Amino acid sequence: MQARVQRPTGAFIGALCAALLVGMVVYVSGLWNAKMNSSEKGVYAMFYLLSCFAAVAVQKNVRDVDLMSEPKAEQVGSPGEAA
């Protein structure tokens, strides 16, 4: 039996992009207005970018592990095959 891959809806993708955009704008504006050295602002900006990369990497690894754990059609056997 093939597992059906469900795709996210357009509303979910739109809400996701809007939340990401709002979060980035608020974070950058907070860094812009902060009373810190430029080097310290850069460190916080790099922390944010690295955490975004880590979140995407973890999400893709979890997805790949789920795909690898599903049995393939040739492993299960095709319909009509003699047992």
Q: What is the pLDDT of residues 11-68, one digit of tens each?
A: 999 999 999 899 989 999 999 999 999 999 999 999 989 998 999 899 888 888 877 7
Question: Is there a domain that residue 4 lies in?
Answer: no
State the pLDDT at residue 53: 92
- Which residue matches tokens 């996210």? 8
Residue 58, domain extent: 10-70
- Residue 80 within any structural domain of the chain: no
**The total number of structural domains that make up the chain:** 1
pLDDT attached to residue 65: 83
E runs forming strands in the chain: none
Say if 16 falls within a structural domain: yes
In a domain, 5, yes or no: no
Residue 2 lies in a domain: no
The reply to whether 78 falls in a domain is: no
**What is the C-alpha radius of gyration for the chain, rounded to an integer number of angstroms?**
22
Is 15 part of a structural domain of the chain?
A: yes
| Single pTM value for the model | 0.59
Would you say residue 27 lies in a domain? yes
